[in-house]
Amino acid sequence: MGPLTVPFPFKIGSYLTSMLLDDPGYTGTIQRGTHTLPERHNSPEREAIFDDSATIQSDAYRYTYADIMERVRKALGRQHSSTSTSEYEPLTGTEEANPLEGSTVLEGQHELPFSWIDYGIFALLGVAMLWAWNMFLAAAPYFTARFAGDVWIQSHFQSAILTVSTVTNLGAMLVLTSIQYSASYPFRINLALVINVFAFSLLTASTVIGLSASPTLYLVFLLATVAAAAWAAGLIQNGAFAFAASFGRPEYMQAIMAGQGIAGVLPPIAQVFTVLVFPPEKDQNTSIKEPSPEDGQTSAFVYFLTAVVVSVAALLSFVPLVRRHNHIIENRMVEQMNESMHSIEEAERAARKVTSLWRLFTKLHWLAIGVALTFIATMFMPVFTAKIHSVKENSGALYQPSAFIPLGFFFWNLGDLSGRVATILPFSLRHRPFALFVLSIIRFGILPLYLLCNIDGRGAIVSSDFFYLFIVQLIFGLTNGWLGSSFMMASGEWVDEGEREAAGGFMGLCLVAGLSIGSLLSFSVAGV
């Protein structure tokens, strides 16, 4: 009989070890040396020698080496097809006696302690996730100047950016979510950040070289970088949500959502500040000067360069987080490692339960539909916000559209960030997914309030900037942040532990699907 390799110390009393030794009542920790195992049924006492090579060698076992290895496979949930074990097992029922099956977290072990360092890194990943897209929005005046030679492109480039981005992002999420067993989520995150660094380095360089390129050529270049950034967004959305879910702490999922909120707040602040400090030039008739190819060149350079810096910072900070994750997985799975597993990643994949998207939907249907509805409603906000003017437009620079419109985005994003942060408070509806779903439907009732505001300067039914900024924008953003984060955080609590990574990626897919559907439906109010 060949030796069975195990790591030291080898804990007795766990599910796996009791299966090997056929004695669930034996507890303790086996160190090096010779140990006498207790009698079981009518079998004689058995001695097991644990030598320096960390192997169990005993001819006195009732089971052969093949028997033991079969027990290991069963304990790891890796039975052959002859066992006819279904792909999905319910959360309740007889299978509760087998906590190791398909799980990356061992029952009975200490819960992973919360770390503010890890929280900060996940928040930075959330910032990097949306910062790139926000830089495309912030650089819109620069793009308008670059396309000044072609009226059609100048009028439609934003729609082209939106279409390429949403279609590419949704396609990436569909492909990545369907790949579970062989997925390396840290690799997806790293690859996304590298793509962002490369794409925005090119965009940064384009602000100082190639300025004589035709509008058509520059549009092709721009859409190519948009597609690359959108694919990177799909990679990091799928990877970050799944990676955070694998830690088993909903606070880290909330950290990603909070980071996204931070990425939404900072750009409009910068825009408002820029307009107030460097107001647009006016001609002799007091009208705003027509855009020229040089307009926005410096600001666009800064926008794109900050995207590079944020991606590099996230890439560097992610390294220690991956090391910590691997250390956690090693500790959790020390009793699952056998001689056929040569790495932490291989052991983690062995315990990962592959679950179809439909089965995830059956478990998470209220959460999945709810998060999609939340972001469908949200995508109407940019259309209205870009059209609403202050009711005191002639009262100062802050009330001019060039500053007031970014101010509207700021208040919405401030509410969004506050809502995301608020989910860390004790009050929560994560255990009531249907209630969250109902709230996502009720939230559509806020949209008609935009029609009461000063759209395109035609006058407001409710003549108050306070009503628009604090009642409409702030509350609409607050509900988006709180509901969106609650849906994402709740997903890990309604699936088996071995399905948490897949559930995180699936919820990210539903979020992106909501953004895509909402962006298309938002064209229905574009003419308002």
3-state secondary structure 353-415: CCCCHHHHHHHHHHHHHHHHHHHHHHCCHHHHHCCECCCCCCCCHHHCHHHHHHHHHHHHHHH
What DSSP state is assigned to residue 31? -
Q: Is the pLDDT of residue 513 over 80?
A: yes
Identify which has the larger pLDDT, 99 or 498: 498
Strand partners, 37: 46
Average pLDDT over every residue of 334-348: 52
pLDDT classification of 92: cutoffs 50, 70, 90: very low
Q: Is the same domain home to 368 and 321?
A: yes
Per-range mean pLDDT, top range of 82-86, 257-261, 445-449: 445-449
Identify which has the larger pLDDT, 344 or 173: 173
Q: What is the pLDDT of residue 270?
A: 79
If DSSP codes are grouped into helix, strand and coil, which group holds residue 247?
Answer: coil
Average pLDDT, the chain: 76
Q: Is the same domain home to 278 and 341?
A: yes
Q: Is the pLDDT of residue 60 over 60?
A: no
Q: Is the pLDDT of residue 53 over 50?
A: no
Average pLDDT over every residue of 227-253: 86
Q: Is the same domain home to 138 and 67?
A: no
Q: Assess if residue 334 is contained within a domain.
A: yes
Q: Taking Cα atoms as reference points, which of 192, 216, 184, 175 lies closest to residue 132?
A: 192
What's the domain range around 37? 4-80
Q: What is the pLDDT of residue 183?
A: 65
Average pLDDT over every residue of 83-92: 40
Q: What is the pLDDT of residue 133?
A: 80
Q: Is the same domain home to 311 and 374?
A: yes
Residue that terminates a domain, selected from 80, 107, 138: 80
Q: Count up the domains in the chain and report the number.
A: 2
Q: What is the pLDDT of residue 332?
A: 61
Average pLDDT over every residue of 246-274: 85
Phi, psi of 89 (to 5 degrees): -120, 140
Q: What gap in Å lies between CA 266 and CA 131, rounded to an integer?
A: 9
Q: What is the pLDDT of residue 349?
A: 55
Q: Taking Cα atoms as reference points, which of 447, 431, 426, 421 lies closest to residue 366?
A: 431
If DSSP codes are grouped into helix, strand and coil, which group holds residue 116?
Answer: helix
Q: Is the pLDDT of residue 313 over 90?
A: yes
Kindly compute the dihedral angle of the four CA atoms of residues 134, 139, 140, 146, in this order, to the nearest 10 degrees.
Answer: -150
Q: Is the same domain home to 54 and 121?
A: no
Q: What is the pLDDT of residue 111?
A: 59
In the chain, the N- to C-terminal Cα span, in Å, equals 79
Identify which has the larger pLDDT, 445 or 296: 445
If DSSP codes are grouped into helix, strand and coil, which group holds residue 48?
Answer: strand
Mean pLDDT check: name the lowest of 264-278, 397-411, 420-434: 264-278
Q: Is the same domain home to 148 and 275?
A: yes
What DSSP state is assigned to residue 282? B
Strand partners, 10: 30
Say which amino acid occupies 382. P
Identify the H or E element spanning 201. helix 185-206
Q: What is the pLDDT of residue 477?
A: 96
Cβ atoms of 199 and 225 closer than 8 Å: yes
Q: Assess if residue 371 is contained within a domain.
A: yes
Burial classification of residue 322, based on how many CB atoms lie within 10 Å of its CB (0-12 exposed, 13-18 middle, 19 or more buried) = middle
- For tokens 């315990």, the residue is 351
Say which amino acid occupies 198. F
What DSSP state is assigned to residue 143? H
Summarised one tens digit per residue, pLDDT across range 151-205 is 888 877 877 887 788 889 888 888 887 776 666 888 899 999 999 999 999 999 9
Q: Is the pLDDT of residue 372 over 90?
A: yes
Q: Assess if residue 167 is contained within a domain.
A: yes
Average pLDDT over every residue of 238-261: 85
**Helix residue spans in 64-150 (DSSP H):** 65-75, 116-138, 140-146
Q: Assess if residue 102 is contained within a domain.
A: no
The set of residues, in sequence order, having a beta carbon less than 8 Å from that of 115 and lying 6+ positions away, is: 324
Q: Is the same domain home to 76 and 120?
A: no
Mean pLDDT check: name the lowest of 33-42, 176-185, 205-214, 377-386: 33-42
The two three-digit tokens of residue 43, written as one number = 């079998």
Per-range mean pLDDT, top range of 305-309, 407-411, 435-439, 489-493: 435-439
Q: What is the pLDDT of residue 276?
A: 80
Q: What is the pLDDT of residue 411?
A: 95
The two three-digit tokens of residue 157, written as one number = 């480039």
What DSSP state is assigned to residue 467? I
Q: What gap in Å lies between CA 102 and CA 201, rounded to an integer?
A: 42
Identify which has the larger pLDDT, 463 or 284: 463
Q: Is the same domain home to 28 and 177?
A: no
Cβ atoms of 190 and 315 closer than 8 Å: yes
Q: Is the pLDDT of residue 122 over 80?
A: yes
Q: Is the pLDDT of residue 460 over 60?
A: yes
Residue that terminates a domain, selected from 24, 54, 80: 80
Mean pLDDT check: name the lowest of 95-104, 218-227, 379-388, 467-476: 95-104
Q: Assess if residue 106 is contained within a domain.
A: no
Q: Is the pLDDT of residue 268 over 90?
A: no
Average pLDDT over every residue of 496-510: 83
Average pLDDT over every residue of 338-364: 66
Cβ atoms of 29 and 14 closer than 8 Å: no
Q: The domain that contains 192 carries what CATH number?
A: 1.20.1250.20
The model's pTM:
0.64
Q: Is the pLDDT of residue 142 over 70?
A: yes
Q: Are strands 28-30 and 33-37 parallel, antiparallel or unpaired?
A: unpaired
Q: Is the pLDDT of residue 374 over 50?
A: yes
Q: Is the same domain home to 264 and 335?
A: yes
Q: Taking Cα atoms as reference points, which of 119, 371, 120, 364 lies closest to residue 251?
A: 119
Q: Assess if residue 294 is contained within a domain.
A: yes
Q: Is the pLDDT of residue 102 over 50?
A: no
Q: Assess if residue 234 is contained within a domain.
A: yes
The two three-digit tokens of residue 265, written as one number = 């707040």
Q: Taking Cα atoms as reference points, which of 521, 520, 501 lies closest to residue 104?
A: 501
Distances (CA, A) of 442 to 187, 373, 476, 483: 39, 10, 11, 12
Identify which has the larger pLDDT, 233 or 25: 233
Q: Assess if residue 95 is contained within a domain.
A: no
Distances (CA, A) of 235 to 229, 252, 504: 10, 18, 13
Q: Is the same domain home to 240 and 381?
A: yes
Q: Is the same domain home to 146 and 215?
A: yes
Q: Is the pLDDT of residue 494 over 70?
A: yes
Order of strands, sheet of 46-50, starting from the edge strand that comes earlier in the sequence: 4-5, 55-57, 46-50, 33-37
Output the furthest CA–CA distance in the chain (Å, rounded).
Answer: 105
Q: Is the same domain home to 67 and 120?
A: no
Distances (CA, A) of 508 to 248, 283, 300, 384, 415: 17, 48, 30, 26, 21
